[in-house]
């Protein structure tokens, strides 16, 4: 069909560079049916500072901060003009997501891109993508924040590490309840009445593994439900793939808060899938998670800026609704595995609206911690706690007194991580992966560890902790300060550091700090000035 004659404008922050270590294998089939998520602007700007830590209802959120139905109607007309269909069932005003489907040819015309098929030289994974920027008719540009799905490269990796078979005999590994005891987690509560959401971009779990694992710990297995997002499904079967991530997340969270329901959101490993999984979990009124654990991420420098902004916005929506998000800070130390000689932090851990979770190596027994240092096995080919300073997000107000080092680029400043916990494979977690007993570490274990703690705190207090960062930074005495070790460029020291944040938790003291915060979630989110300040490319 002929392209309607509209003046076109470039959508800001959508510049996309050619994917690294990939080759073009041809133009995307013009008749292939593709799907994109158009992220629509809010009715009103959302600023957690202005909410003063107040948690709002879904009804108030929909009234004030969802997408405007008129914007959706405007984009439906746009879709019609360009021969695209609207997937109404997959669209949501609360999620500010309108899903459009059409041929590659129609999408190319609608968004001003040329779609190519790529193959990754190492993994042989194929995907479609584009180089350059996205453009739309000027009449539509004012209502769109981002368009996701035109590029389907894998954006994130799971942050878990298996302990090598040869090292298992000498490892001092733990069952998750033993970690909870060492960290003095609240007792007399088990997460009943809470739902822990878990984001997964691959892999799966089997019911038989869950039954066997929890019966082995003498615990009643938690209720686990799989939620499909963008066609992602619970797909176990590859013990060397993402199954280890999925099993680790469920088993750590479930063993510490066995009374909690666990909702696992499976989505494709694309920027569209990642964002849709988070917004689906945040706005899931059926399962209603009060805390969401994310153990996937990638270097900030690998993300398109519009995706970073949209994903951070989704995390800010979570804070407004009282949903805490815990995110693994990465397993590759201060350079986040980029290997360009510079320091990098992982996203979405670098979002100022999540609790970024770094890693330690832990020695202890019973309720006594004998030693705890920064996790860093890089000298022997292993990993290390991710951490450093964001080059995208400004220093939040609640980190103003944390002595965060200066960013290497203007506009950055947010320090990563916020908190820490046991992550070294040598002191890792005993888990069951596809029927096999494994010892697994990585900051992937720390996100569900903290998510389980938040679930216990929520049950104990009878309210949602919500956005916890301001309250935690005001309660440094609730942490075990980690002062030994480094993650490459940064060393642990007194107070906050870019290896382990504020430190590892004293669970009872954390519960006390969160329950006595002046208002649920604290009164100063630091949301002002924490938006991304400059463009990033894929």
Summarised one tens digit per residue, pLDDT across range 94-107 is: 999 999 999 999 99
What is residue 1's predicted lDDT score, i.e. its pLDDT?
Answer: 46
Q: What is the pTM of this model?
A: 0.95
- Residue range 304-318: mean pLDDT, rounded: 96
What is residue 335's predicted lDDT score, i.e. its pLDDT?
Answer: 97
For the chain, what is the largest distance between any 2 Cα atoms, rounded to a whole number of angstroms?
72
Residue 536 clears pLDDT 90, i.e. is over it: no
CA atoms of 354 and 322, how far apart (whole Å): 12
What is residue 535's predicted lDDT score, i.e. its pLDDT?
Answer: 36
Active site (catalytic) residues: 245, 249, 444
Summarised one tens digit per residue, pLDDT across range 175-197 is: 999 999 999 999 999 999 999 99
What is residue 521's predicted lDDT score, i.e. its pLDDT?
Answer: 36
What is residue 532's predicted lDDT score, i.e. its pLDDT?
Answer: 44
Residue 520 clears pLDDT 50, i.e. is over it: no
What is residue 166's predicted lDDT score, i.e. its pLDDT?
Answer: 78
How does the average pLDDT of the chain come out, rounded? 94
- Residue range 6-12: mean pLDDT, rounded: 92
Q: How confident is the model at residue 170 (pLDDT cuts 50, 70, 90)?
A: confident
What is residue 529's predicted lDDT score, i.e. its pLDDT?
Answer: 38
- Residue range 405-434: mean pLDDT, rounded: 96
Domain limits, CATH 3.40.50.200, in the chain: 171-515
What is residue 359's predicted lDDT score, i.e. its pLDDT?
Answer: 98
Summarised one tens digit per residue, pLDDT across range 417-429 is: 999 999 999 999 9
* CATH architecture of the domain with residue range 171-515: 3-Layer(aba) Sandwich (3.40)
Higher pLDDT, 8 or 365: 8
What is residue 516's predicted lDDT score, i.e. its pLDDT?
Answer: 86
What is residue 523's predicted lDDT score, i.e. its pLDDT?
Answer: 34
- Residue range 1-17: mean pLDDT, rounded: 80
CA atoms of 439 and 436, how far apart (whole Å): 10
DSSP per residue, 274-338:
HHHHHHHHHT-TTT--SEEEE-EEEEGGGS-HHHHHHHHHHHHHHHHTT-EEEEE--SBGGGTT-
Summarised one tens digit per residue, pLDDT across range 477-488 is: 999 999 999 999
Per DSSP, the three-state class of 426 is helix
- The conformation of residue 265, written as its DSSP 8-state character, comes to E
For the ranges 31-40, 43-52, 229-238, 393-402, the lowest mean pLDDT is seen at 43-52
Summarised one tens digit per residue, pLDDT across range 141-165 is: 999 999 999 999 998 999 999 998 8
Residue 283 clears pLDDT 80, i.e. is over it: yes
User: Residue 444: which residues within 8 A CB-CB, separation 6 or more?
Assistant: 158, 159, 160, 245, 248, 249, 295, 328, 331, 423
Share of the chain above pLDDT 90, in %: 88
What is residue 449's predicted lDDT score, i.e. its pLDDT?
Answer: 98
Residue 30 clears pLDDT 80, i.e. is over it: yes
What is residue 538's predicted lDDT score, i.e. its pLDDT?
Answer: 38
């Amino acid at each position: 069909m002929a392209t309607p004659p509209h003046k076109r404008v470039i959508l800001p922050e959508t510049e996309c560079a050619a994917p690294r270590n990939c080759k073009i294998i041809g133009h995307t089939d013009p008749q292939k049916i593709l799907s994109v998520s158009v992220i629509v602007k809010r009715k009103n700007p959302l600023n957690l500072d202005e909410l003063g830590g107040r948690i709002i209802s879904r009804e108030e959120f929909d009234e004030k901060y969802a997408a405007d139905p008129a914007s959706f109607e405007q984009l439906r007309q746009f879709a019609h003009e360009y021969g695209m269909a609207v997937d109404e069932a997959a669209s949501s005003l609360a999620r500010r997501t309108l899903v459009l489907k059409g041929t590659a040819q129609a999408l190319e015309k609608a968004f001003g891109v040329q779609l190519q098929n790529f193959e990754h030289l190492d993994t042989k994974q194929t995907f479609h993508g584009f180089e350059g920027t996205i453009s739309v008719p000027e009449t539509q540009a004012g209502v769109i924040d981002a368009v996701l799905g035109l590029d389907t490269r894998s954006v994130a990796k799971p942050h878990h590490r298996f302990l090598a078979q040869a090292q298992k005999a000498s490892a001092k590994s733990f069952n998750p309840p033993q970690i909870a005891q060492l960290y003095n987690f609240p007792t007399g509560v088990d997460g009943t009445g809470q739902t822990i959401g878990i984001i997964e971009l691959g892999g799966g779990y089997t019911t038989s593994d869950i039954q066997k694992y929890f019966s082995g710990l003498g615990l009643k297995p938690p209720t686990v439900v799989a939620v499909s997002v963008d066609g992602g499904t619970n797909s176990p079967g590859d013990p060397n793939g993402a199954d280890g991530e999925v099993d680790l997340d469920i088993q750590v969270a479930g063993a510490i808060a066995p009374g909690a329901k666990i909702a696992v959101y499976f989505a494709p490993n694309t920027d569209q899938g990642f964002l849709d999984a988070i917004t689906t979990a945040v706005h899931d009124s059926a399962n209603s998670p009060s805390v969401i654990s994310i153990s996937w991420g990638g270097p900030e420098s690998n993300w398109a800026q519009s995706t970073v902004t949209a994903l951070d916005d989704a995390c800010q929506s979570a804070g407004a609704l009282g949903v805490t998000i815990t995110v693994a800070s990465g397993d590759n130390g201060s350079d986040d595995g980029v290997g360009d000689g510079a320091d990098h932090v992982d996203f979405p851990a670098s979002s100022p609206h999540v609790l970024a979770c770094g890693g330690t190596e832990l020695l202890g027994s019973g309720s006594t911690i004998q030693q705890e240092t920064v996790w860093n096995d890089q000298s022997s080919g292993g990993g290390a706690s991710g951490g450093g300073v964001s080059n995208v997000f400004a220093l939040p107000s609640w980190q103003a007194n944390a002595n965060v080092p200066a960013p290497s680029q203007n506009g950055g400043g947010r320090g990563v991580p916020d908190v820490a916990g046991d992550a070294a494979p040598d002191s890792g977690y005993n888990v069951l992966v596809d029927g096999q007993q494994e010892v697994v570490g990585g900051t992937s274990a720390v996100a569900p560890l903290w998510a389980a703690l938040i679930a216990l705190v929520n049950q104990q207090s009878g309210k949602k902790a919500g956005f916890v960062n301001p309250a935690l930074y005001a309660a440094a005495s609730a942490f075990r300060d980690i002062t030994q070790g480094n993650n490459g460029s940064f060393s642990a020291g007194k107070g906050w550091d870019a290896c382990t944040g504020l430190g590892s938790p004293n669970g009872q003291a954390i519960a006390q700090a969160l329950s006595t915060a002046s208002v649920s979630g604290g009164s100063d989110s630091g949301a002002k000035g924490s938006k991304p300040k400059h463009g990033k490319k894929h």
